[in-house]
Amino acid sequence: FDDRDGWVWFDGKLTPWREARIHVLNHGLHYASCVFEGQRAYDGVVFKLNEHSERLARSAQLLGFELPYTPAEVNAATAELLAANGLSDAYVRPVAWLGSEQMGVYTRGSKVHMAIACWEWPSYFSPEEKLKGIRLEISRWKRPAPDTAPTESKAAGLYMICTMSRREADGRGFDDALMLDYRGYVAEATGANIFFGRGKELHTPTPDCFLDGITRRTVMGLAREAGYTIVERHIRPEEMAGFDECFLTGSAAEVTPVRQIGDYSFKPAEACSTLLHAYSDLVRVEGRAARAAAAAE
Ligand code: PMP
């Protein structure tokens, strides 16, 4: 991934992609003092950019460090980077970490660094293809308690659990993993939140030990507009037998229907189809409106 043309915004300036490097004695690498975001640009505009930039700052604060840039500066850097790379439909990855100024568990003397990278990422699958649904395995790894780790932070360290779950699921032929939480309730997939549908009711786990995703909140709004009732509550795994539909939400995943989780089956139907289409319409409409507002300034 490191050998390509293009630009990375690195500590405040556009840097050639191949030169955006860090030292092996990096605090973020050794001790996971690192936070990041995952965003998508549609028609050249990142959907919910400011929410993502603010969450990045909050994630860092939860780990005890302050970003050297304000969310407004991060927003401007993101727009500059997309334009420099000539990208319109792209994935955008801001990341902030403690550098290689010192090597120890303590953070005294460490500096906060930040980069933003982006690369082309069109929506690969047609709605018809997505509506077939993906298959999840129930992971043996659990989301930790909020007094074990800063679970509201999009902290790199918390993704160790996700990458182990995902690797095991991949190895057994599944598309992704469903993680339960430390109490045994249904939590989320490895990079997305989860919803279950029964008629006009959607049930989704209370986000008290994992990310309350930006897409999750957006889709809840779209669902209410479409006449669905949302029930946020703790969901036991065996309750999955009582639902007809299931889908994931995330900036990368968008709305992804699910057809199987372990021994439970679902059939993507009206809720999946309605929300998948409503979300893909919204991201472009908001992008167009943001571009028009910027042009009018
Ligand atoms: N949970 C995890 C573990 C994630 O990585 C993501 C993706 N950021 C989400 C949930 C969904 O968050 P969002 O909708 O803000 O992208």
Confidence of residue 294 (pLDDT cuts 50, 70, 90): confident
Rounded to an integer, the average pLDDT of 122-147 is 91
Nearest CA to ligand 1 atom 4: 191
Ligand 1 atom at minimal distance to the Cα of residue 39: 16
Q: How far is CA 160 from CA 41, 144, 148, 175, 261, in A?
A: 26, 12, 14, 18, 21
Superfamily of domain 127-283: D-amino Acid Aminotransferase, subunit A, domain 2 (3.20.10.10)
How many whole angstroms separate alpha carbon 157 and alpha carbon 51?
21
Q: Across all residues in the chain, what is the average pLDDT? A: 96
Domains of the chain, residue spans: 7-120, 127-283
Number of alpha carbons in the 13 Å side-chain half-sphere of residue 238 = 0
Tokens of 187: 């939590």
CATH of 7-120, one of 3.40.50.1820, 3.90.245.10, 3.30.470.10, 3.40.50.720: 3.30.470.10
Q: Which residues contact 204 (CB under 8 A, 6 or more apart)?
A: 193, 194, 195, 196, 216, 220, 230, 231, 232
Confidence of residue 124 (pLDDT cuts 50, 70, 90): low
The ipTM is 0.99
* Tokens 């309750």 -> residue: 239
- Is the pLDDT at 147 greater than 70, yes or no? yes
How many whole angstroms separate alpha carbon 42 and alpha carbon 244?
31
Residues in the chain: 297
Top mutation candidate among 95, 154, 158 for ligand 1, by most atoms within 8 Å of CB: 154
Indicate if ligand 1 lies below 6 Å from the C-beta of 133: no
What are the tens digits of pLDDT across the range 157-173? 999 999 999 999 999 99
CA of 193 to the centre of ligand 1 (A): 6
Top mutation candidate among 211, 214, 218 for ligand 1, by most atoms within 8 Å of CB: 211
* Angle subtended at Cα 88 by Cα 86 and Cα 92, rounded to the nearest 5 degrees: 90
